[in-house]
Structure 1
Amino acid sequence: MTGENPHNGTALVRSLVRLGFPPDSRTMSASTLAATRLPSVSDITQLQIDTVAAWHRGPIENPYDGFKQLVCKQHEYNYRLWHQEDIARSPTADDVKIAAVKRAIDTLNQQRNDMIEKLDDAITELLGTLHVRPADGAPINTETAGSAIDRLSIMSLRLYHYREQLDRDDADASHRAMVAARIDLCQQQHTDLSNSLQALLVDIFDGKKQHKTYRQMKMYNDPSLNPEIYQS
């Protein structure tokens, strides 16, 4: 945008396209244009894909800030959950190991859901900062943006581990064919969900849809709500 007036409509449209918004962004309102303060969905999904690979090679790190830092933290809990659940299903895991893993899974799942709420809260805060209000009668989506980011996180983990299966020395041709077909389906679902999330964010920041944080209100980890805890 060097040499361009940042308030010029053409310059803003070019910026939107570079940031991952669809080519018809010229039809969006000023409040939607301001939503580019959020990372694009393509940036979010690339973060998830890159960190899954990096964390399998080395330590779990979160070098990001702002909204991406929240995305990465939420993604980390899914990463940890995935591998704890693998341990729990191992036929060699004894009762003591399974009990420890089950408690770890409960804690991580709570943290994962807490981070989904924090992602949605961050969007709410940005909407308030930008004074974006939904139009009268604007519908609310069946899932929040934070929940969609969570699903994309899990999909990136699934794709990574399916691709590992293609590299197994002991895998036969039928196994590889089955895995390849599932990878193709996962890729299609990942693309569909990415596009749906991008459209949802555009509608939210254009005031065409309402945004709310869906409170999970988990009971099992709360000692005042789980009878197996408070009655003991």
Structure 2
Amino acid sequence: MNDAPLYPFSAQEIAALHDHFTALWHRQPPALPGEARGPVPDAVIAQHLANFELWHTEDRARTPGATDHEIAEVKRSIDRINQRRNDLAEACDTLLLAELATRGLPDPGAELHSESPGLIIDRLSILALKIWHTQEEIARAAGHPEALAGHALRNRERLNLLLMQRGDLAACLDRLWQQTLAGERRFKLYRQLKMYNDPSLNPAIYQAKTPVGE
């Protein structure tokens, strides 16, 4: 069995990456960092970038006055980004399972966990975006106290809930990883098997390509 140390995987480090890049990408054009941090953190950052782009692309579809053409283009972009988001969540699981395999883990006899680390990382990514934008709303209300009466209070309450949810979820991820390393629990790579982007599986696509009369 390989005794080399595993990448120091922790939910706290993942949340710190999410927060750092969420703030950075709101100051400058979002892009992957030029310097590698390692396979797992690089996959975490890439997956978060997909969620970041998805969040702001969905906002464009909700812009008042958006034309039908603009909404259709945004919808196609959302489908592409969402596919990348799911692929990268799976990539996180693939990397973690590859590291575990060098130690003969996960134990096939251990209790199966219903959710993989990659799926939890995806949820933490979305929470990081919600937290940043909620903090933004608190700051916006501070600058317009009369126009946004009660807005700051509602968003502070929302922020407290989001932080609690992230703390709970991060603890669950750390616990899953610790139990997996101890051979007490296991997880699998669950392919999302999205159908909407596959022209051979989505009838809205393949039926549109079928010549009339066939």
Give the TM-score normalised by the residue count of structure 2.
0.88
Report the CA distance shift for 1:179/1:157 in structure 2 as closer, same or farther (over 3 A): same
Q: How many aligned residue pairs are there?
A: 201
Question: Is the Cα contact below 8 Å between 1:135 and 1:208 reproduced in 2?
Answer: no
Q: Deviations over 1:48-102 (max 9, x none)?
A: 0000000100132323332110000000000000001111111121111101100
Q: Deviations over 1:172-228 (max 9, x none)?
A: 231111000000000000100011100001111211111210110000000110111
Tell me which moved more, 184-193 or 58-67. 58-67
Matches within 5 A, 1:200-219: 200-219=176-195
1:97 to 52, 61, 70: 70
Matches within 5 A, 1:54-203: 54-60=24-30, 61-62=32-33, 63=35, 64-134=37-107, 136=109, 138-168=110-140, 169-170=143-144, 172-203=148-179
Cα separation, 2, equivalents of 1:65 and 1:98? 37
Structure 2 unpaired stretches of 5+: 209-214
Task: Give 1:130 shift.
Answer: 2.1
Task: Give 1:36 shift.
Answer: 3.9
Question: Is the Cα contact below 8 Å between 1:134 and 1:210 reproduced in 2?
Answer: yes
Q: Deviations over 1:108-152 (max 9, x none)?
A: 00000001111111111111122224152x221121100000000
Question: Is the Cα contact below 8 Å between 2:47 and 2:85 reproduced in 1?
Answer: yes
Greater helix content: 1
Question: Is the Cα contact below 8 Å between 1:144 and 1:213 reproduced in 2?
Answer: yes
Cα separation, 1, equivalents of 2:185 and 2:79? 33
Structure 1 unpaired stretches of 5+: 1-29
Question: Equivalent residue of 1:167, what SS?
Answer: helix
Identity of aligned residues (%): 40
2:14 to 44, 67, 84: 44
Question: Is the Cα contact below 8 Å between 2:93 and 2:117 reproduced in 1?
Answer: yes
Cα separation, 1, equivalents of 2:66 and 2:5? 48
